Structure 1
Amino acid sequence: MNNDAMGRFLNELGNELAKIVGGNPEGVFLYVEIGEGWVGPSIFKDEGSLVRYYDLSGNGLTDILFDIWYAGDDESKRWSVMEYSIAAGKFEVTFKYPEEVDVTKPDRERRRAALRARFGDKQVVYPSMREGAFELKS
């Protein structure tokens, strides 16, 4: 895959993120863990004094993320973590690869660490649970 095609996929990702957050993507941060047959994205937006989490139901984000993941011609060079942010009208993306982070073992601390690195100690606000939902505790 050439850089122009990857750039188009990453731009499409930014457009989808803008839709999810209601139009203005400034301050958006996307953290993604991915592997064969699964993807775990989390979208956050810096709103000044707090960071808001956005629900991912009902959008085309998953397909775009798989397009980006499969874009590499060499299967051994597929990333396992992507961090994508938008600031000053431009996107910035970093990838981590399986030799850097093993996402086959679930670990919520990786996402928390990425949030702390990006936003410091700002409060993260999650939406209220939907009616009929329940929380599992260990």
Structure 2
Amino acid sequence: MADNQRKARLIAEIGQNLAAETEFSKKGLLMIAGVAKGYLAISVFSDRGPHVAYRVTKYSRYENLLNELWSMEPLSKRWEEVEFFLKGNEFQTKFVYFEDIDPDDLTIDRWHQAAEKYFGGKPIKYPSWDDSNSWTL
């Protein structure tokens, strides 16, 4: 039972960190993270009304929390990715396991499709590589 309480606290802390993000939108904020030994990838999407904005976040806010959450699972039951979605006062967590992932799907495409589902198909604006412009998909 202590493990479940610790997991719940870790998830709650991740949710609190997301809610404290300077670009937080009560319309919706989605963080998708891929975690493995020596690997961490995070994408954050914020609902901006007519579109969704992809944002870069500070990994340092989430690195230890996500790694601890991931490592609490037995090797045979570890998830590959986790999705955290905040909208208004609602908070959802979804774990994505190896068998749920099509090996032919690229991570960026899979995460884009997940964001489209959470935000009802709104266009997603991505920043350009040099921050001078953006592009929408």
Q: TM-score under structure 1 normalisation?
A: 0.78
Cα distance in 1 for residues equivalent to 2:40 and 2:59: 15
Q: How big is each residue's C-alpha offset from its partner over 1:41-84, in whole Å with a ceiling of 9 and x where there is no partner?
A: 10111122111122124632122211211122x12111012111
Tell me which residue corresponds to 2:122: 122
> Shift of residue 23 of structure 1?
6.9
Using a 3 Å threshold, how does the CA distance of structure 1 residues 102 and 33 change in structure 2: closer, same or farther? farther
Question: Could you tell me whether the CA contact under 8 Å between 1:14 and 1:25 is conserved in 2?
Answer: no
Q: How big is each residue's C-alpha offset from its partner over 1:13-63, in whole Å with a ceiling of 9 and x where there is no partner?
A: 01221233x174531111122222101110111122111122124632122
Cα distance in 2 for residues equivalent to 1:57 and 1:122: 25
Cα distance in 2 for residues equivalent to 1:102 and 1:40: 18
Q: Are 2:37 and 1:36 equivalent residues in the alignment? A: yes
Which ranges of structure 2 fall in alignment gaps of 5 or more residues? 132-137
Cα distance in 1 for residues equivalent to 2:84 and 2:102: 19
Residue type of the partner of 1:77?
A: K
Q: TM-score under structure 2 normalisation?
A: 0.78
Cα distance in 1 for residues equivalent to 2:109 and 2:23: 30
Q: How big is each residue's C-alpha offset from its partner over 1:109-128, in whole Å with a ceiling of 9 and x where there is no partner?
A: 21121122112331222335
User: SS state of the match for residue 20, structure 2?
Assistant: helix
Which 4+ stretches in 1 moved above 6 angstroms? none
Residue type of the partner of 2:11?
A: L
Where do residues 36-115 of structure 1 align in structure 2 (5 Å cutoff)? Answer: 36-57=37-58, 59-72=60-73, 74-101=74-101, 106-115=106-115
Q: Percent identity?
A: 27
> Shift of residue 91 of structure 1?
1.2
User: SS state of the match for residue 85, structure 2?
Assistant: strand
Residue type of the partner of 2:47?
A: D
Using a 3 Å threshold, how does the CA distance of structure 1 residues 36 and 102 change in structure 2: closer, same or farther? farther
Where do residues 17-32 of structure 1 align in structure 2 (5 Å cutoff)? Answer: 17-20=18-21, 22=22, 24=24, 26=26, 27-32=28-33
Cα distance in 1 for residues equivalent to 2:58 and 2:78: 25
Which ranges of structure 1 fall in alignment gaps of 5 or more residues? 132-138
